[in-house]
A and B are shown apart, each in its own frame.
Chain A
Amino acid sequence: MTKLAQWLWALALLGSTWAALTMGALGLELPSSCREVLWPLPAYLLVSAGCYALGTVGYRVATFHDCEDAARELQSQIQEARADLTRRGLRF
């Protein structure tokens, strides 16, 4: 099953469960407080997924390592290499 199909299956499953519950298709008598939460649930989920995505990406951007040391080390090794290779007769 492709990743796309997995997503569609999961969405269809969740969507139909939600629809069945809100529309009372199963003949269940849910207490009104439950129904009040259930009705806007997809919107809540969407918003919290968005918040999670923004938060995660923001945190990861903020904590992205800047490898200053690696860059400095590389620069000094390039100098070393240039000297060594010139001694061995390389024409740059």
Chain B
Amino acid sequence: AAEEASRSSPRFRREPKGRVSRQDKYSVLLPTYNERENLPFIVWLLVKSFSESGFNYEIIIIDDGSPDGTRDVAEQLEKIYGSDRILLRPREKKLGLGTAYIHGMKHATGNYIIIMDADLSHHPKFIPEFIRKQKEGNFDIVSGTRYKGNGGVYGWDLKRKIISRVANFITQILLRPGASDLTGSFRLYRKEVLQKLIGKCISKGYVFQMEMIVRARQLNYTIGEVPISFVDRVYGESKLGGNEIVSFLKGLLTLFATT
């Protein structure tokens, strides 16, 4: 009889603390700019991942006035999945990542925030692992890492791999940040932690993500890591030029000298 009872009980009850975890809500922030082609798929994958794992969630799309009609697709998705799951919080023009997070968080009802890229390089299937990791160590931040365990990348040539490894090596030596992937942007934060950190970070681009982790260390927040596979942009161009490298080095040295 006991066997039958366990078989007939719904999935989420199998977890002994199911009740507690169901109070947690995860707000996914998706800043977009010209992601018309990728947005339907990332949203579909997010919905799939969350419905399979049973965690409570919402997806906040922050579109910075994309000229390609990203907003139109987002509105269609909102109709399909409902405005309690998909929240559109567009802005007039491109205003940078940090302020996009601030803007999105104002409307977030979850107690945890997940940030990720909308270009399909970050797969939502890892989110349940992030959540499990967070609960396991009661971490303030869980960061996806391409540099550990089964983590990795797809679509990078040798040159790109070398640049990435060298940059990571130098960063680890100079900053000793206590996390292996500093420039990645697939992370889970406690909401209040992200709010506090964003207020302290001033850099842009790659360096912004790096500064978030460095400041987190300064403030004694705990960081957990989950290996992720990073599949470089399926649609659209991935960019890594000389300018990115120079601004990365500048940012790195600034953090080195000031933190």
Contact = CB atoms under 8 A, between A and B. Distances in A.
B155 interface: yes
B223 to A, nearest CB: 17
B44 interface: yes
Interface of A: 2-4, 7, 53, 56-57, 60-61, 64-68, 70-71, 74-75, 77-78, 81-82, 84-85, 88-92
Contact of A2 (B73, B147, B256): B256
Contact of A67 (B152, B161, B256, B258): B152
Contacts of A60: 147, 165, 168-169
Given A3-B259, A90-B77, A74 B120 contact: yes
Interface residues of B, number: 39
Nearest to A88: B80
A1 B79 CA distance: 53
A88 B40 CA distance: 12
Given A2-B257, A74-B123, A74-B234, A67 B44 contact: no
A77 B166 contact: no
15 contacts: A3-B257, A3-B259, A53-B169, A57-B162, A57-B166, A60-B168, A60-B169, A61-B161, A64-B161, A67-B153, A74-B120, A82-B41, A89-B80, A90-B80, A92-B73
Given A57-B162, A64-B165, A90-B77, A84 B44 contact: yes
Contacts of A65: 150-153, 229
B175 interface: yes
Contacts of B76: 89-91
B201 interface: no
Contacts of A82: 40-41
Contacts of B97: none
A68 B120 CA distance: 15
Given A64-B152, A90-B76, A70 B45 contact: no
Judged by DSSP, the binding face of A is: helix
Nearest to A5: B257
Nearest to B42: A81
A73 B259 CA distance: 41
B122 to A, nearest CB: 11
Nearest to A79: B41
B249 interface: no
